[in-house]
Amino acid sequence: MRPFDPRLLRLLPQCRGPVGLLGALGVLGGVAAVAQAFAVAALVVAVVEHASPTGAAWALVTVAAVRAVIAAASEIGAARAGVTVSTALRERLLEVMLSRSDGGSARDPEGQPATPAVDAFTVATSGATAVEPYVARYLPALIGAGVLPVLTIGTMLFVDWPSALIVVLTVPLLPVFAALIGHATADATRRRWAALAGLSGQFLDAVRGLPTLVAYGRARRQTGQVRRTGDRHRVATIATLKLAFTSSAALELLATISVAMVAVAVGLRLAAGSMPLGTGLVAILLAPEAYWPIRRVGAEFHSAADGAAAIDDALGLLESAAGGAPVPAVPALGRIVADRLRFRYPGAPVDALAAITFTAPRGLTVITGASGSGKTTLLTILAGLRAPTSGTVHAPRTHLVTQRPFLLPGTVRENLLIGAGVTAGPARTDGELADTLDAVGLLDQLPAGLDTVIGDDGFGLSAGQRARLGMARAMLDDAPALAFDEPTAHLDGRASEAVHAVLARLAREHIVIAVTHRRDLVDIADTHIEIGPDAAPSEIDAAAGDLLPAGAR
């Protein structure tokens, strides 16, 4: 676990501005601290020597005010930086989790988890939250530890080199002891983080399997297992806190002894009359400033250790995902282009998609193939929900309508408005919503029209009605490309004709891709692509687009 991981700035460009601002404020704060020591010494000397303290007092007030402003700006900037970095990290992790079939977990070449103790969901939730104190408290302390001791020692060398020599000899002891203690703390934190990941994963598995556990009377046993895992996490947390408090006390003791050595040396020379009062005061006031930032780093490291561990795991996941094939959006292209597209599920012996190359222009493109040939997998890749194992795909934003569209408990109106335009635009009127439902042949089947209430996952609707509601929602979206998985699978002849008409209308202005097993949908397609072993694409209308060879097997 490194004090600062440079991958953070490379993989999360949003972090560069906040971290740079914290660095600049740290330098200004160090300069203000040195100036304040001189101002305090000048004021004390003026009072002792019965001189006018007005100038020194105003200088002290000014420097103190500047330092307070810098400190306030640092606190505000650090808090905002923490939120910015944690939000950016969470968003990037969620993108990885949505684009990978393995849920975002880094895997080795054999398909096994590369970091078995790390759960991607834990890193994206608890881990991203733990990053905030790391950025808001630890990073400013780390920057101060790199700036303030250098400024302090440099000034002391100019003012009083014997005091500076004491500081130079004792300051390195703090990072050495901090590194030794930090190494032990890192191990303890890693064990605690692994315990938390295990607890999170076990609880998630228990929730997912709760119906089965209840059905077989094993729910109470699983409750005890979760309790025991939680106890292990509690014990690991207490052990880490004990180590943190002990290490903080050790650093405080070492720093106190070092400052006392400077104070004793200065006091002896002041008593002997061999040192001016102003010089001695500056040396005594600057000495703590050389040790304080390093002590603060030690203290803040313990409070931000979870964030450091989470960043290490999160950046590992992001770095492994960065090596995958990109799925860039090319809105200006006006077509979907796939080149040698291949996808294999983790642990699977064969590819779900094998070296598929095609172009889908504006119009209706129908994809057919045997069950299990990878048609649905292809749609999820085109929609950006999965990243290909190899090859590239260029596509504008694609709205995917699955065989079982997501529906939330509420009215039909609320479910339609979920996807009514991602970009800002005019609000949809009830008339537009009703016309859309009528176009897919669903309006007359809803007893209360737009106000018809449906349950969770479309409870109260048939499979065909649920599919047509998903299609209506896609019609209201402004995505350049629309993808439909078996749009007529649960429909009778009349309803299928209505869906065909909708697809043909959408194909005039959009890239429309539909997966089907039915010949009637193939008959109205502009482009037909067949995938699977020994399959070759065929063009129903050669003028509709430049379909490339599929190159499948």
Q: What domains are defined for the chain?
A: 7-322 (1.20.1560.10), 331-544 (3.40.50.300)
Q: Which of 207-211, 390-394, 510-514 has the highest mean pLDDT?
A: 510-514
Burial of 273 (C-beta count, 10 Å sphere; 0-12/13-18/19+): exposed
User: Average pLDDT in the 325-338 region?
Assistant: 60
| Predicted local distance difference test score (pLDDT) of residue 1 | 52
Report DSSP state, residue 424: -
296 pLDDT exceeds 70?
Answer: yes
In the predicted model, what is the mean pLDDT of residues 93-118?
Answer: 48
- 512 confidence band (pLDDT: 50, 70, 90): very high
Residue 497 pLDDT exceeds 60: yes
Please tell me the distance from the alpha carbon of residue 534 to that of residue 86, in angstroms, as a whole number.
Answer: 48
User: Is 283 in contact with 262 (CB distance < 8 Å)?
Assistant: yes
pLDDT exceeds 70 at position 491: yes
Bridge partners, 113 (sequence order):
107
Q: Which residue has the higher pLDDT, 534 or 34?
A: 34
Of 229-233, 255-259, 316-320, which gets the smallest average pLDDT? 316-320
Structure tokens given for 94: 């969620």
For 507, the token pair is 């194909």
> Phi and psi for 407 in degrees, rounded to 5?
-130, 135
Structure tokens at 410: 């509420």
Please write the tens of the pLDDT for every residue from 39-94.
888 888 888 878 888 888 888 899 889 888 988 888 888 888 778 877 877 777 77
More confident residue, 525 or 181: 525
**How many Å apart are CA 551 and CA 553, to the nearest integer?**
6
Which DSSP string corresponds to 293-323?
Answer: HHHHHHHHHHHTHHHHHHHHHHHHHHHHHHT
3-class SS at 446?
coil
Mean pLDDT for the chain overall: 75
Taking residues 299-320, what's their average pLDDT? 65
Mean pLDDT of 388-392: 86
pLDDT over 50 at 548, yes or no: no
Q: What are the strands of the beta sheet with 511-515, ordered from one edge?
A: 398-401, 481-485, 511-515, 363-368, 527-530
Residue 407's pLDDT is 85
- Please give the pLDDT value at position 48: 83
Angle at 396 between CA 376 and CA 344, to 5 degrees: 35
User: Looking at residue 197, what is its pLDDT?
Assistant: 66
Question: Is a pLDDT exceeding 90 seen at residue 415?
Answer: no
**In sequence order, what are the residues at sequence separation of 6 or more whose Cβ sits closer than 8 angstroms to the Cβ of residue 327?**
99, 381, 384, 387, 388, 392, 393, 395
Q: Which two tokens stand for residue 358?
A: 């095609």
pLDDT given at position 200 = 67
The SS3 assignment for 413 reads helix
Give the helix, strand, coil percentages of the chain, each rounded to 5. Answer: 65, 10, 25
Of 361, 365, 359, 368, nearest in space to 393 by CA: 359
For residue range 344-360, what is the model confidence (pLDDT) as tens digits? 887 788 888 888 888 88
Residue 164 has pLDDT above 90, yes or no: no
Query: What local confidence, expressed as pLDDT, does residue 243 receive?
Result: 67
Helix (H) or strand (E) holding 379: helix 375-382
Q: What is the mean pLDDT of residues 194-219?
A: 69
C-alpha span between 391 and 382 (Å, rounded)? 12
Cβ atoms within 10 Å, residue 427: 8
Beta-carbon count within 10 A of 495 CB? 19
